[in-house]
A and B are shown apart, each in its own frame.
Chain A
Amino acid sequence: MRETWVVGAASNRFGKMAESARESATRVAMAAIDRAGLEPKDIGYTYVSNAFGISEHQAHVGPLINGGLGIPDVPSCTIESACSSSSAGLHEAFAQVAGGFIDAALVVGAEKLSHLDTLAATSYFAIAADYPFETRNGATFPGLYATLASAYQSAFRTTPEMFGAIAVKAHANAARNPHAHFQKEISMATYLASPVIASPLRLYDCCPFSDGTAAIVVAAKEAVPRPATEPLVIRASARSGSITEMQDRPDLLGLPATRTAAAKAFRQAHLTPKDIDFLEVHDCFTIAEVMALEDLGFFPKGTAGPAAQDGVTTRDGRLPVNPSGGLKAKGHPVSATGASQVVEVFEQFNGLAAGREVPNTGTALTHNVGATGGSCSVHIFSRR
């Protein structure tokens, strides 16, 4: 395999986009290519994710983006893996570039949901679950994670303040991220006073519905002799799956796909959790961050909540988690989320994260989950 880098990455501000996902994807992709110091003609393949594009009456958006970039002859395909779509795109791009089939690839994820009302958006999110065996029984996306939270609370000693500490941290970080949907801090009192959406999850336990777009340029080391920026060396690109339905999982205290994807990634990279300086994890709900940090191997089961309360995972803590603000406060534009986690690593590595810098940026891990864990991606990046 060839050494493969992320050489450019860009994002718009998450929240509400006036433009279509197609326009946004094209503009952000061009910005990522510019940051890489490349031209669109250098791209050998485009991997697009736009899971809810059908709500904009648009499928097969890859050729439209490539046309808008002036490279209509470059092949493209759409990658859908629910909330882990664009990290799945990165995984495919890595395989093509590392395997020597192409020298550079574009990965772009874009989502627009703001033209839908809350009911329609809630229903769109729920279709990534098993329709006849979960959604048709009344499940929503918050409802499924809330069910996991109830099992977790039953097994371990938890307090609302443990989950609140994660929400407060997320907002503190997002307040310093110009890409973030919510650029305001919240207090523990605000968290505790927020209404219950799906018990035990409060409003401030939940990520928002966000529009947003993120793009990454992946290239072989040998194809970029003089990189324009500090590249991210892709040390591991691992994906895993697991039983989707909660009714068939051996336990409800974590996500099995995270455990197996993490094991693959650490094995590929010849690293352990002790080698990771900071992480971007999939915190669609505060309970998801707790389970992620435990399933990835950073904390024993039942201890990630107390660690958050002790400040271990703040930007200046021992293990900074989600300096971007995470899905929880940066926002969660489904198909853009995985790529946006890599944008955060790129900006931290390149001194572009002013005001939210983490102390050490040698090695970082990104963790991106599809729905309630039917899919999971784990990537590990290091400096050259």
Chain B
Amino acid sequence: MEELPHASHTIAEFVRGYEEGGVLRGFHCPACDLLTATWSLACPRCGRRDLEERTLGTQGRVAAFTLLNVPGDEFLNDAPYAYVVVELEAGGRVTGWMPTVRSVADLAIGDPVHFVPSYKPGVQFAKDRGPSPGG
């Protein structure tokens, strides 16, 4: 039987990568330059099939966020926390959560943040030290 097409890593390996190895594994599209953490066989932007394995950067800035007061069941004891879309400095965007952000006043769009390896589920970020551009 022919071997089925496969990606350079599985979703389980992506999760183990950030939970145990402290890295965010991703894919790079050689055609349109998309960098993404989302598991895929082909580029979701342009359809190119030979995606390259990449380790994503860990520094970025908040592109969008919300402070969640009513969580889902896996985060029951963690609210309030921020759910963030982070624009990585080295390219690409990833989503994650920030358990140390407890108030809307604690975070602003554009704030510098970094990935934090953690035993808790989910991709975690924390604010960089120093004043935020938004004050």
Chain A positions within 8 Å of B, measured between CB atoms, are 118-120, 122-123, 126, 130, 132-140, 142-144, 146-151, 154, 195-201, 243, 245-248, 250, 252
Chain B positions within 8 Å of A, measured between CB atoms, are 11, 14-15, 34, 36-39, 44-45, 63-76, 78, 81, 83-85, 92-97, 104, 109, 121-123
Which of A122, A146, A200, A247 lies in contact with B72, CB distance below 8 A?
A122
Do residues A140 and B65 form an inter-chain contact, with CB atoms below 8 A? Answer: no
Q: Which residues of chain A are within 8 angstroms of B93 by Cβ–Cβ distance? A: 246-248
* Chain A residue, CB-CB nearest to B99: A138
Do residues A137 and B83 form an inter-chain contact, with CB atoms below 8 A? Answer: yes
* Chain A residue, CB-CB nearest to B79: A138
Q: Which residues of chain B are within 8 angstroms of A126 by Cβ–Cβ distance? A: 72
Cβ distance A137 to chain B, nearest Cβ, rounded Å: 4
Do residues A132 and B15 form an inter-chain contact, with CB atoms below 8 A? Answer: yes
Q: Which residues of chain A are within 8 angstroms of B63 by Cβ–Cβ distance? A: 151, 252
Q: Which residues of chain B are within 8 angstroms of A120 by Cβ–Cβ distance? A: 73
Which of B36, B70, B95, B122 lies in contact with A140, CB distance below 8 A?
B70
Interface SS of chain A: helix
Closest 5 CB pairs of A and B: A138-B97, A146-B66, A151-B64, A199-B67, A137-B122
Interchain CA distance A196-B68 in the complex, whole Å = 9
Interchain CA distance A151-B14 in the complex, whole Å = 27
Interchain CA distance A245-B74 in the complex, whole Å = 19
Do residues B45 and A248 form an inter-chain contact, with CB atoms below 8 A? Answer: yes
Q: Which residues of chain B are within 8 angstroms of A154 by Cβ–Cβ distance? A: 64, 109
Decide yes or no: A199 and B104 within 8 Å by CB, A138-B81, A150-B109 being known contacts. Answer: yes
Could you give 5 example pairs across A and B, Cβ below 8 Å? A119-B73, A120-B73, A143-B66, A243-B44, A246-B93
Do residues A123 and B65 form an inter-chain contact, with CB atoms below 8 A? Answer: no
Do residues A132 and B67 form an inter-chain contact, with CB atoms below 8 A? Answer: no
Do residues B38 and A137 form an inter-chain contact, with CB atoms below 8 A? Answer: no
* Chain B residue, CB-CB nearest to A126: B72
Q: Which residues of chain A are within 8 angstroms of B75 by Cβ–Cβ distance? A: 138
Do residues B95 and A246 form an inter-chain contact, with CB atoms below 8 A? Answer: yes
* Chain B residue, CB-CB nearest to A139: B83
Do residues B36 and A138 form an inter-chain contact, with CB atoms below 8 A? Answer: no
Interchain CA distance A230-B64 in the complex, whole Å = 47
Do residues A134 and B69 form an inter-chain contact, with CB atoms below 8 A? Answer: no
Q: Which residues of chain B are within 8 angstroms of A133 by Cβ–Cβ distance? A: 37-39, 95
Do residues B122 and A147 form an inter-chain contact, with CB atoms below 8 A? Answer: no
Residue from A140, A195, A252 whose CB has the most chain B CB atoms within 10 Å: A140
Q: Which residues of chain A are within 8 angstroms of B34 by Cβ–Cβ distance? A: 248
Interchain CA distance A147-B63 in the complex, whole Å = 9
Cβ distance A318 to chain B, nearest Cβ, rounded Å: 32
